[in-house]
Amino acid sequence: MAHIKSLISEDEIASAVAQLGRKITDDYADCELTILGILTGSIVLVTDLMRQIEVSHQLGLVQASSYRGKTTEAGELRINLDFLPEIRGRDVLLVDDIFDTGKTITKIAAQLELFEPKRIRSAVLLWKKSRSEVEAIPDYHCFEIPDEFVVGYGLDYNGEYRNLPYIGVMDK
């Protein structure tokens, strides 16, 4: 097992997610909201966040993956929208674990535009601002982090460590 150094504690995450939930509640008070979690990394954030949002909303999941096996470098992005709920005319909030290069959220948002939502915004737990390769930025984020490979709270390495209740940095 790799050594993992804590970067963001469980309590810090809980506080930030609660604050994000209040902000989204305020911003979407009079909207028809659909939350779309990007699998698999966002699953912990989505479940915690949707309990903090006090406006009626639908939930959907989008499968997207660009990491295979033990790599820490992204490969070709694969997106599966087969189980997308009806989003035509609705406000869509794409929720992901991390905004790294920004390519995942940008590509998914472009594909979602074909379904004619009212508006698409994004919310992420972590933002590696220094790694962004797109013009877009997340509409909501909880933490800006350095360019480190992180695990925990849904983020994995080779399928492991998603269960950690904090965000940690793996030793190289």
- Residues 88-143 have pLDDT tens digits of 999 999 999 999 999 999 999 999 999 999 999 999 999 999 888 888 999 999 99
Task: Indicate the range of 7-11, 30-34, 67-71 predicted with least confidence.
Answer: 67-71
CATH of the domain at 88: 3.40.50.2020
In a domain, 9, yes or no: yes
Q: Is 27 a catalytic residue?
A: no
Q: Give the residue, 159 or 10, on which the prediction is more confident.
A: 10
The Cα 121–Cα 70 span in angstroms is 31
- Residues 48-82 have pLDDT tens digits of 999 999 999 999 999 987 655 554 555 678 888 88
In a domain, 125, yes or no: yes
Count structural domains, the chain.
1
Whether the full predicted model's pTM is greater than 0.85, yes or no, is yes
The Cα 145–Cα 131 span in angstroms is 10
pLDDT confidence of residue 50? 97
Domain that holds residue 91: 4-22+31-63+78-170
Q: What separation in angstroms does the CA of 13 have from each of 1, 6, 7, 107, 120? A: 24, 12, 11, 27, 24
| Options 11, 100, 139, 147, the catalytic residue | 100
Q: Which two tokens stand for residue 44?
A: 């912990």
